[in-house]
Structure 1
Amino acid sequence: MKNTIKILFFLFSMQLLAQGPVIRAEVNLDDVYTQYGLSGEGVLIVMIDRGIDYTHPDFIDENGNTRLAYIYDMVDPTGANDPNNPYGVGTIHDHEALNTALANNDPPLSTDRFGHGTATTGIICGNGSGTTDGQFHGVAPKATIISIKITHDYFPPFNGQPGQDAFFDPSYIAIALQFASDKIAELGLPSITLMNIGSIGGPTDGTSMYSRAIDQYVQSGHTFVCGIGDDGGRENHASGTVSQGQTIDLLVDKANSGNLRFDLWYSESDRFTVSIERPNGIVEGPFTAPNGPNDSVDENLGDIFMAHRGKNVEFWGSDAERRELLIDFSGTTGTYKVRLQGASTPNGGEFHSTLNPSNFTSNNKFLSYVVPGYSINDYASAALNIVPTDYVISEGWYDINGNFQQFTGQGDPGELWIGASKGPTQDERLAPDIAAPGEIAFGAYSPNTWYSHYVTSLVQGGNGLYGIQNAVSAASPLVTGIIALMLEVKPNLTPSQIKNILRNSCNQDAFTGSVPNNTWGYGKINALLAIQNTISLGTDPLKGKSIVLYPSPTNGWFTIDLGKEYSDVSVKIYNIMGQLISSEKYNSAKMIQQEINVSTGMYFVKVSTAKEGSNTLRIIKQ
């Protein structure tokens, strides 16, 4: 009998691993769908990543139309001079152009040849229509999408396909956020933005030009998510103090070929003299510190490049009183010594230093002054960002040929993924906010991509159109999709409300320990609790007053109960693309009856008064 139970449990586990609902069950999403019928309809997802394959069935609705309002391909220069593109870079494709290309079976207007952006967007809001049972659908399968392609990853030629060079220009971040802000305003939908990029390095104290741009975006009312990073599992952070007259050696083990970047930050008031000892014992320097905030001491030493910069000329545009010492080691492997001497340290000589690449897939590491944590990526250190981390839920998956595959040595179910970065920020703020299960998730795959050429990554039952996605890049889309469902319930949620709800909607267990902490944040996200906590906020206020719309769903006529008499009332109805359907004005009103004489679907009713502000409510037309 015991053997029979074990066999049945093994077969049940195989079935779960071969399908898509493992993560949905873990975070109680199935209960959300059953109890509340949410789908993300009427919510806008802004995805800043490696692009998207808009021809994938996950992103086409039941009528054959694209679910994308826009693709902004910032890597494609052909549209930079288009008069309809005021942003100066990239190429913009709108909903109509994408639909026309789909209808005509034209060559793709924009692609994601790597596969990352397509898979991660699928986790957020793919509709699962690549299979008959839809088992691989994303969290918010009816959401509207904007895809912003901001980067390219390198990969070599494969299967007769050309390779691809890497591309990333961090100055594009502010442009991407401006485009997103403009289109959110144009479409008029509640939105959630995910930027699924970032690695260790920089000031990571919320002061870089990129972190400040993110905070400005959030202050404009746009909720923003950026994962903590994939730089865990290695000794890649060193910190301490250098007193005046003291000399210390930071030992850097360059174990892997290629470039290794050392990035150190310390007070503008302090001055460090720097020497570099190579593995063969040859010493470069000493080099005196830059005199002032606008000065720099740059040294090209062949296979070592050193840039020592004052606070106004460092590479990240930080507005903090900190200077940067950046060293690129591109030569031989071995142990390098970065020797710091405290020439003058009136502010105490404290420093933080990081290495990149240095994570669980790399053997590069510090050998001295190692302090755990502080491996958060700079974009995630923005003060108003929502920061997910990643934990393990499934030991593996069954590939398209029915063979069991798994990642070994990266954590057991329930544990934090070994590659997840950890907090705090360099200014000692908590990070991450929450943890989500990204090991192993499933997302949309497209043929002839770098992702899909790994046959073992294609999942069983996915028709070759779905495969695995892991790391923080899978956990962050899951959280983003949950936020989309929260916005479907209450479109007027503010970024701070969303962040607080998420933090208060977590489970704790033996793995998370006492929370909050800089490994797990507030714990493991519970989607059902997040929706319940969203609902418990009560009816959306109209300047502190409650208004009610009923019935919804409706066959046509509906009533708006304002609760009291107001003057100068306007009622506007929008479709899910943000287009105005009707507009009415009333000199005064308390009970308003209106007819919604349009096709079936979801719509938004915006009620405004001259003095009390506005409120947007959701209505379903049957």
Structure 2
Amino acid sequence: MRIQRFHFAISTLLLLFSTGLLEAQKPSIPMTTRQAVSGIGELTGKHTDAKAFQEHAQGQFPVAWVSNRPTVGFIGRLGNDIGAADWLNWTTAHPEVLPGVCRNGIASFRLDAYHLHLLEQLPLDRVELASKAVPDLERARVGTRVDSVHAGLNLPQAFHGEGVLIGVLDWGFDYTHPNFYDTTLTSTRIRGAWDQYRQSGPAPAGFDYGTVAETPADLMAMGSDTANVYSYSTHGSHVAGIAGGSGCGIGLHGMAPAAEFLFATLMVDEAAALDAFAWMQDLAEADNKRLVINNSWGLPQWGTPDGTSLANQFIDAMSEEGVVFVSSNGNNGDSNFHFDHNFESAEDTVRSLVAFYPLSSHPSAWGQNLTLWGEPGGSFGMGLEFADGAYNVVGASEWVNSADGPDLWETDIIVNGDDSIFYDVAVESAHPANGRPFIQLRVHKGNSNVNVVLKVNAESGLVHAWNHTHLSNDVGNWGWDFSSAGQPGWTPGDPFYGVQQPACSQSVIAIGAHSSDFVNSGGNEIGGTLAYFSTFGPTLDGRLKPNLSAPGVNMESSLSSFRDGEYNVTETVEFDGTTYEFARLSGTSMSSPAVAGIVALMLEANPSLTPAEVMAILEETAREDNNTGELPEEGDHVWGYGKATATDAVLAALALSETPSSSAFENTRFSVHPNPTSDRFWIQGPSEEPIQWTLLNLQGQPIASDFSLAPCKVDVSKAANGAFLLRIKHGSHVELLRLMKTN
């Protein structure tokens, strides 16, 4: 066995960062960011032609053509003595740095790919490479009870999302599709669209890249977003149709068909995503409308799975300002790509076989990306063993200890005669984001038949490991198995702890997926089983994810008429001389917009809801059934709190309304007295017909119900103190009243 270790990655970084430092305090930069910057630096060294560099780099790194040059996306945190104005002044003096949005001390920016040495000169205390984003790929309205909300069943009125903006960050928008018109197919409901790839301009106010359209004429002139690394996609059109499609007159409407849209064609990295979030928030505030943003994509590389990244902090800050974020939970539920072990002694070592994604299955398939996290203040070691088909060890890597970080290197090993194994390592003794020890190891074995075994050791503490596919010119967001390989004492993998950014943020409502529930010809509700791909939680720090589940299997929605991919078309509609099509797709990409649409219904019912209240209502009104089984009171890491239930969520939103004169409480025929009450109250109102009254808690759950003639007496002496909602049905009239129970 021959081992040759190279430190050229570090030396490249030293070369990049060796010129004129202006700041006494250099920013903290994670080793995975330094590793990626090293790779970008190697490509700029090979390709002096900027276009050639762009072509080779944009698949693997957050590189985009902005202001007539290749730029790299980053996110930074301002130092304590640096304000937003100071940051903008600094970038003005350094035109190689293109500032994006800056909110609550978190700034997005792009750096000329040929001036990466400026990273160490930035007046920031922390810098992270912007992770690349990848997509997470008629019965759903019944299963979520949205059909009942549209009909106003057991509600004071019908709700369709009117007056609410749904933001969609994605790729593949067809601005001309009738699914994004109103239900009469007269006017577009697209409030604005920002194509971050189209560089002809005009850019949105405050930004210097992309093209924005905010009038129907401009939208129709653009037609669609432009081709990008995902070519002419249709993902965004399908996602948006689920959230709020008009249905085009053929019954395929989305969850909130009266809501308006904000579309942003994402430049495939999180720096551009933060810019898009801010643009959407600015428009919503200008229109004085509530905003819910759907994210049907994930960030599988360079991030932290516990919600501590700078992007997570940015999202949480925007949530505090009233923006509701909904995100797909991911599609790794069918992969045993994780294991963890609680170590109790230095002699305790675990082994697990690393499965490799077949090179023939993807043109950019390269190898596997192994990431390991320990507990704050702890340390652990790891290494690789190489074994033949009988699991006899034929070679081994160097042992890597997290306490030796920060460091990174690359190594080439020859084992078993002529099998070449390559791997690179990034090590943090305490990651800048969360203080946890961290090791990332990317391993390539080509067509070798050698088995790769991961070994992990620690004196104490819990260590987690994940196995993701790594692509040479793209980002793989799918897990691949760990297994015990039938070897005594080896550790198998499991599907848990799979949540990635942005779903792992504290304030993001993360959505799992199940098949649609529907009523068969016998009147029985069937379906609704867990989608095989729905990612399991929790987050690395143990928080519950997903928050709840929604339909995400074979969801029928709109296709972009500009796409260049083929799909099995299920429906067509003619509009303005063009044939527009629909198809069924599956993924948590589809379940997330279903809940975003439900949020729009809730915000129409009660525009004063905070994002925290929206999340709490969705969790508290999620339902259990035979498929979920009885869930723990604190939820579980597969279903969250259960299945999204729009009727109860909207009812609970109304119950929290602080505006008694809102439309939901107008035209009252009934009254209750005394209110507050300590033991009983009377319902007064028309007595020609019997009424059905139902007493509900603020989560929309029934406490008591009966048929009576008004006036009638209701005994609440045994009910807990607090606020309740009284729903009264009188013929076709439904009315909601508030009631307070006291001592």
SS in 2 for 1:267: coil
Match of 1:285 among 397, 401, 406: 397
Deviation of the 1:321 alpha carbon: 3.0
- Output the amino acid matched with 2:426: H
| Cα separation, 2, equivalents of 1:457 and 1:83 | 35
Select the residue among 354, 362, 378 that pairs with 2:501: 378
Change beyond 3 A, Cα 1:418–1:288: closer
Of the candidates 175, 194, 200, which is equivalent to residue 72 of structure 1?
Answer: 194
Match of 1:172 in 2: 272
Distance 2:382 2:256 in 1: 52
Partner of 2:3: none
Following superposition of structure 1 onto structure 2, how do residues 196-345 of structure 1 map, counting pairs within 5 Å? 196-198=296-298, 202-242=303-343, 243-257=345-359, 258=365, 259-267=367-375, 269-279=377-387, 281-289=393-401, 291=403, 295-301=406-412, 304-310=422-428, 318-329=433-444, 331-332=446-447, 335-342=451-458, 345=459
SS of corresponding position for 1:525: coil
Residue 475 of structure 1: how far off its partner (Å):
0.8
Partners of 1:224 and 1:84 lie apart in 2 by 22
Q: Percent identity?
A: 23
1:87 to 207, 225, 230: 207
Query: 1:277 offset after TM fit, Å?
Result: 2.7
2:556 aligned partner, one-letter code: F
Tell me how far 1:114 sits from its aligned partner.
1.4
1:198-224 Cα offsets, whole Å, 9 max, x none, are 165653211122322221221222111
Indicate if the aligned counterparts of 1:58 and 1:128 stay in contact, CA closer than 8 A.
yes
Q: Secondary structure at the match of 2:374?
A: strand
- Verify the 8 A CA contact 1:203 1:265 in the aligned structure 2: no
Contact 1:267/1:321 (<8 A) preserved: yes
Q: 1:493 maps to which residue?
A: 609
- Amino acid paired to 1:458: T
RMSD: 3.1
Question: 1:523 is matched with which residue: 642, 652, 664?
Answer: 642
1:565 maps to none
SS in 2 for 1:427: coil
Name the SS of the counterpart of 2:297 in structure 1.
coil
> Is the 1:278–1:337 contact (alpha carbons within 8 Å) kept by the matching residues of 2?
yes
2:167 is the alignment partner of 1:46: yes
CA shift for structure 1 position 439:
1.6
Query: Alpha carbons of 1:106 and 1:50: their partners in 2 closer, same or farther (altered >3 Å)?
Result: closer
Alignment size in residue pairs: 477
Instruction: State the one-letter code of the partner of 1:250.
Output: S
Structure 1 CA distance for aligned equivalents of residues 604 and 385 of structure 2: 58
Tell me if the contact between 1:311 and 1:318 (Cα under 8 Å) persists in the aligned partners: no
Deviations 1:512-531, CA, capped at 9 Å, x for gaps: 12222111111111111111
Q: Which residue of 2 aligns with 1:421?
A: 535
The amino acid of 1:43's aligned partner reads V
Alpha-carbon separation, structure 1, partners of 2:423 and 2:195: 33
Determine the structure 2 residue equivalent to 1:558. none
Partner of 2:115: none
Residues 195 and 360 of structure 1: CA distance in aligned 2, closer, same or farther (over 3 Å): closer
Shift of 1:110: 4.3
Which residue is equivalent to 1:402? none
Aligned position for 1:539: 658
Give the residue type in structure 2 aligned to 1:231: N
Would you say 1:184 and 2:284 are equivalent positions? yes
Give the structure 2 partner of residue 619 of structure 1.
Answer: none
Describe the superposition over 1:364-390 as per-residue Cα deviations: whole angstroms up to 9, x where unpaired: 444424244111223211111111111
Structure 1 unpaired stretches of 5+: 1-20, 152-167, 396-411, 541-545, 554-622
Q: Deviations over 1:135-194 (max 9, x none)?
A: 11111112111111115xxxxxxxxxxxxxxxx323323323222332222222111111
Find the aligned partners of 2:327 and 2:664 in 1 and give their Cα distance: 37
User: C-alpha displacement at 1:506, in angstroms?
Assistant: 1.8
Deviation at 1:320, TM superposition (A): 3.6
Candidates 15, 26, 30, aligned match of 2:143 = 26
Tell me if structure 2 keeps the 8 A contact 1:256–1:333.
no
* DSSP 3-state at the match of 2:584: strand
Task: Name the CA distance, whole Å, in 2 between partners of 1:169 and 1:460.
Answer: 34
Q: Distance in 1 between matches of 2:350 and 2:222?
A: 62
Quick one: distance in 2 between partners of 1:439 and 1:235? 21
The answer to whether the 8 A contact 2:515-2:530 is kept is yes
Matched letter for residue 505 of structure 1: T
Name stretches of at least 5 consecutive residues in structure 2 with no aligned partner.
Answer: 1-137, 360-364, 413-419, 471-475, 485-490, 519-525, 668-743
Secondary structure in structure 2 of the residue aligned to 1:250: strand
Which deviations, in whole Å up to 9, do the C-alpha atoms of 1:301-324 show, x marking residues without a partner? 376332232156x6xx62343323
In 2, Cα distance between equivalents of 1:370 and 1:539: 49
Match of 2:622 among 491, 495, 506: 506
Give the deviation of 1:60 after TM superposition.
3.0
Check 1:425–1:290 CA distance in 2 against 1; reply closer, same or farther (3 A cut). closer
- How do 1:331-370 and structure 2 match up within 5 A? 331-332=446-447, 335-342=451-458, 345=459, 348-357=460-469, 364-367=481-484, 368-370=491-493
Residue among 185, 192, 217 paired with 1:99 = 217
**CA pair 330-467 structure 1, distance change in 2 beyond 3 A:** farther
* Alignment partners' CA distance in 2, 1:438 and 1:387: 13
User: Does the 8 Å contact 1:262/1:326 carry over to 2?
Assistant: yes
Shift of 1:340: 2.9
Residues 241-273 of structure 1 deviation map (CA, whole Å, 9 limit, x = unaligned): 444354332321215222322111123544444
| Equivalent AA in structure 2 for residue 306 of structure 1 | D
- Please tell me whether Structure 1 or Structure 2 has the larger radius of gyration of its CA atoms: 2
> In the aligned structure 2, how far is the partner of 1:504 from the partner of 1:278?
50
CA gap of 1:135–1:25, structure 2 versus 1, over 3 A, is same
- Structure 2 residue identity aligned to 1:251: L
Q: TM-score, length-normalised on structure 2?
A: 0.59
Distance (Å, rounded) in 2 between the aligned partners of 1:109 and 1:384: 30
Residue 83 of structure 1, CA deviation = 7.0
- Deviations along 1:487-514, one digit per CA (max 9) or x if unpaired, are 1111111001111111122221121122
CA contact (8 A) 1:274 1:338 kept: yes
C-alpha distance in 2 between matches for 1:527 and 1:381: 23
- Distance verdict in 2 for CA 1:254–1:356, change over 3 Å: same
Between the aligned partners of 1:261 and 1:438, the Cα distance in structure 2 is 28
2:327–2:509: 8 Å Cα contact kept in structure 1? yes
Q: 2:174–2:223: 8 Å Cα contact kept in structure 1?
A: no
Distance 1:66 1:285 in 2: 60
For the 8 Å contact 1:200–1:355, the answer to whether it is kept is: no
Structure 1: distance between partners of 2:626 and 2:501: 29
The worse-fitting range, judged by mean Cα deviation, of 514-523 and 107-116 is: 107-116
Whole-Å separation in 1 of the counterparts to 2:376 and 2:478: 34
- Structure 1 residues 426 and 83: CA distance shift in structure 2, 3 A: closer
Please give the TM-score of this superposition, normalised by the length of structure 1.
0.70
